[in-house]
Amino acid sequence: MVVASREARDKASEADETHPAQGPQIGVAGGEREEREREENVKERGRGVIMENRDKAELEGFLKVLPPVDFCCVYGSALHPNNREKSTMVDYILGVSDPEQWHSQNLKMNKNHYASWMVHLGGAKLITQIADEIGVGVHFNPFVTWNDKMFKYGVVRMHDLVQDILNWERFYLSGRLQKPSMLNPALPRLGFSVTSNRSTSTDRELLFATAAERPYALVNILVDNLDIENVNSSNLRAAMSAALLLLPPKFSEEDLYAKICSLSYMGDLRMLFAEDRNKVKKIVQGQFGLFHSKYKPFLEEYEAKEFLRLGSSGSHQKNISQDCGSSVACSLVNSLPPMVRNQMGMKLGEKKKLTESGRIIREVLIGSREEAAKCMQKVLRRTVMVSSTRQAVSGLLAVGGVNAVREVFTRINKEDILIGELHDFDLH
């Protein structure tokens, strides 16, 4: 019956195109064409298309030349399907249980990935020490050539990754994971064990994101053995709260995502030079649907709590108004990570409070919403500034010599490349 129906529909469509004399027939054919288009859109959204571009096989294949990892995400301008520059590095973050052991194994497999002075003077132990004691716990190997492409990968201890996500101790990797991300369903073919076929925020992103937007996610998750995607929900909620504290009573949905995106750039050394002032805005506009799907559950949660009121603007996004009262401000501050609250408490003061479960907690004393927002902003700016400075020094030591100069110029140029590509691709 389905086949017959399709054949009849196709014949009717052909007849209408050949003899478009009757008005009603044209309307029916047009409606059927629209229906077919809708069906194709549904099929397209239903397919497991996360990185349907030329890089997919390379992104997956590169992991095969490295020791096993517990977590892997890929990010950066190299993921853009229009980016044909071979010199653009593909950036990886790799989470492992024991970095020293992982580097020791990787030195046997890929000795040429490391700076020669580090290999000869201390090996895996020195590599790990520099990352932990000088940097923010991440060691990067840049300018790695494989399969005619350039790669850069950073290795971090899983414990440090989780702590940064939950507490914003460094606000380094946690900031990256506040951007749109997607989980690659092709992992079983690579030999990685995925914990379960659970429904996560990633599934919601696949539902809402269009096929055109999927390849534009700034972060693509390839491996997630320890359920980091689920742990990251607290990071997203905290980002939403921090952004709301910094926003006025009325704003657009795009304003919200731009503020979230800007959190991890406050105090970043890279923002002091060679940066597009409209960088954040262009990033959000380039992947608005992905931001929407990632933060939609938290918008609904805060609307249910009457922190927010969502109104339609007649466009693709919503107009938002928020309660700027002190009680809501207190709730937003309480949903920030412990590290941020502790530092705010040191500046603004704290009070002890007994919860219903009998647990004693500390609350930041808030004189006004503006005071809390200003204090939080200072805490985040200082955290990002310290982390970006430490990581810059650690990174230059890790690459050494000529590669250090290459790394500096690469960091200056890569941001402009990404922004230009996102700006040229209009999703609206």
Domain architecture of the chain: domains with CATH: 54-188 (3.30.460)
pTM for the predicted model, two decimal places: 0.74
Q: Which residues pair with 96 in a beta bridge?
A: 157
The pLDDT of residue 358:
81
The closest alpha carbon to 15, from 3, 1, 2, 32, belongs to: 32
What DSSP state is assigned to residue 357?
T
User: In whole angstroms, what is the distance from residue 243 CA to residue 260 CA?
Assistant: 5
The closest alpha carbon to 243, from 261, 230, 217, belongs to: 261
The pLDDT of residue 312:
77
The closest alpha carbon to 52, from 209, 200, 188, 198, belongs to: 209
The pLDDT of residue 308:
96
User: In whole angstroms, what is the distance from residue 334 CA to residue 340 CA?
Assistant: 10
The closest alpha carbon to 128, from 160, 169, 150, 164, belongs to: 160
The pLDDT of residue 8:
44
The closest alpha carbon to 208, from 134, 343, 316, 130, belongs to: 316
- Per-residue tens of pLDDT for the chain, all 428 residues: 434 444 444 444 444 444 444 444 434 454 565 555 445 544 444 333 444 444 566 677 899 999 999 999 988 666 555 555 556 788 999 999 999 999 999 999 999 999 999 999 999 999 999 999 999 999 999 999 998 888 999 999 999 999 999 999 999 999 989 988 655 544 333 333 333 333 344 434 433 444 444 444 457 788 999 999 899 999 999 999 999 999 999 999 999 999 999 999 898 877 666 455 677 887 888 888 889 999 999 999 999 999 999 987 666 778 999 999 999 999 999 999 999 999 999 999 998 888 788 888 889 999 999 999 999 999 999 999 999 999 989 988 887 644 544 554 455 454 443 434 334 433 33
Q: How far is CA 355 from CA 227, 360, 363, in A?
A: 29, 6, 11
What DSSP state is assigned to residue 48?
-
